[in-house]
Structure 1
Amino acid sequence: MSKLWKKLPWIIAGLILLISLLDPPLLPWLLLAATIGACLFMPKRGLIGPVELPADDAFLPSEQVQWWYWTGHLQSEDGRRFGFEVVFFTFDSFLIMRDQLVQAAITDVDGKRFEFREFVKFHLPQRGKNGFDLNSGKGNSVTAVGGDGHDRLHAAVGQYVLDIELHATKPPALHYGGDAHPYRFGGYTYYYSRPKMETSGTLTIAGETLKVSGTSWFDRQYGELYQAIQQGWQWFAIELDDNRQIMLFDFKGSDSDVEKSGSITDAEGRTVTLNADEFQVTVLEQWTSPDTGCSYPSGWEIKIRNETFTVQPLLKDQELHAEHGFWIGPVYWEGACSVAGSVGGQAYVELNGYCRCPPRISL
Structure 2
Amino acid sequence: MSYLSFNNHKGNLMVTMAGIFLMATLPLASADFQYREALPGYHYQFPRDHFEHEDFRTEWWYYTGNVQDQQGKRFGFELVFFRQGAKPGTGNPSTWAVENLYLAHAAVTDPSGKKFLFDERLNRKGPGIAGASAADSRVWNGNWQVKWTGEKQVLDALGSGYSFHFDLTPLKPLVIHGEDGISRKAEGKGRASHYVSFPRLAASGTIQIGRETHTVSGTAWMDHEWFSQSLSADQAGWDWFSIQLENKTELMLFRLRRKDGTIDPNASGTFIDAAGKPRHLSRADFTLEPGAKWGKYPIEWRVKVPTLGIDITAKAVLPNQAIAAKNAGPKYWEGAVDYAGSHTGVGYLELTGYEGAVSLK
Give the TM interval when normalised to the shorter protein: 0.7 to 0.9
RMSD over aligned Cα, in angstroms? 2.7
Q: d(CA) in 2 for partners of 1:128 and 1:119?
A: 18
Equivalent residue number for residue 111 of structure 2: 109
Equivalent residue number for residue 43 of structure 2: 50
Equivalent residue number for residue 303 of structure 2: 302
Equivalent residue number for residue 179 of structure 1: 181
Q: How many residues align?
A: 312
Q: Which has the higher contact order (CA 8 A, sep 6+)?
A: 2
Q: Which moved more, 1:88-97 or 1:59-68?
A: 88-97
Q: d(CA) in 2 for partners of 1:178 and 1:162?
A: 37
Q: d(CA) in 2 for partners of 1:35 and 1:102?
A: 25
2:201 alignment partner, SS class: strand
Higher helix share: 1
Q: Is residue 60–residue 127 contact of structure 1 (8 Å, CA) maintained in 2?
A: no
Q: Is residue 231–residue 353 contact of structure 1 (8 Å, CA) maintained in 2?
A: yes
Q: Is residue 125–residue 131 contact of structure 2 (8 Å, CA) maintained in 1?
A: no
Q: 1:101 to 1:147 in 2, by over 3 A?
A: farther
Equivalent residue number for residue 80 of structure 1: 73
Q: Is residue 299–residue 316 contact of structure 2 (8 Å, CA) maintained in 1?
A: yes
Equivalent residue number for residue 199 of structure 1: 203
Q: How does 1:125-204 map to 2 (within 5 A)?
A: 126=131, 128-129=133-134, 132-137=137-142, 140=143, 142-146=144-148, 149-177=151-179, 179-185=181-187, 187-204=191-208
Q: Is residue 130–residue 148 contact of structure 1 (8 Å, CA) maintained in 2?
A: no
Consecutive unaligned residues in structure 1, runs of 5 or more: 1-12, 14-30, 289-294, 359-363
Q: Which moved more, 1:177-186 or 1:253-262?
A: 177-186
Equivalent residue number for residue 218 of structure 1: 222
Q: Which moved more, 1:156-165 or 1:251-260?
A: 251-260
- 1:99 and 2:101 are equivalent in the alignment: yes
Q: How does 1:338-353 map to 2 (within 5 A)?
A: 338-353=338-353
1:258 alignment partner, SS class: coil
Consecutive unaligned residues in structure 2, runs of 5 or more: 1-10, 12-26, 89-97
Note the C-alpha offset of 1:146.
1.6
Note the C-alpha offset of 1:100.
1.1
Q: Is residue 178–residue 191 contact of structure 1 (8 Å, CA) maintained in 2?
A: no
Instruction: State the Cα deviation string for residues 101-122 of structure 1 (Å, max 9, x = none).
Output: 1000000121111010011012
Instruction: State the Cα deviation string for residues 106-158 of structure 1 (Å, max 9, x = none).
Output: 00121111010011012275553377422222xx2x22112764211111222
TM-score (norm 1): 0.78
Q: 1:85 to 1:304 in 2, by over 3 A?
A: same
Q: 1:214 to 1:176 in 2, by over 3 A?
A: same
Q: How does 1:32-71 map to 2 (within 5 A)?
A: 35=30, 39=33, 45-47=36-38, 49-71=42-64
TM-score (norm 2): 0.79
Note the C-alpha offset of 1:94.
3.2
Higher strand share: 2
Q: Is residue 73–residue 84 contact of structure 1 (8 Å, CA) maintained in 2?
A: yes
Letter in 2 for 1:323: K
1:215 alignment partner, SS class: strand
Equivalent residue number for residue 227 of structure 1: 231
Note the C-alpha offset of 1:356.
2.1
Q: 1:323 to 1:223 in 2, by over 3 A?
A: same
Equivalent residue number for residue 361 of structure 1: none
- 1:287 and 2:287 are equivalent in the alignment: no
Letter in 1 for 2:166: I
Q: What percent of counterpart residues are identical?
A: 31
Q: 1:109 to 1:149 in 2, by over 3 A?
A: farther
Q: d(CA) in 1 for partners of 2:284 and 2:136?
A: 36
Equivalent residue number for residue 22 of structure 1: none
Note the C-alpha offset of 1:47.
4.2
Q: Is residue 132–residue 146 contact of structure 1 (8 Å, CA) maintained in 2?
A: yes
2:265 alignment partner, SS class: helix
Q: Is residue 132–residue 147 contact of structure 1 (8 Å, CA) maintained in 2?
A: yes
Instruction: State the Cα deviation string for residues 179-200 of structure 1 (Å, max 9, x = none).
Output: 1344435522010110000010
Q: 1:278 to 1:156 in 2, by over 3 A?
A: same
Equivalent residue number for residue 335 of structure 1: 335
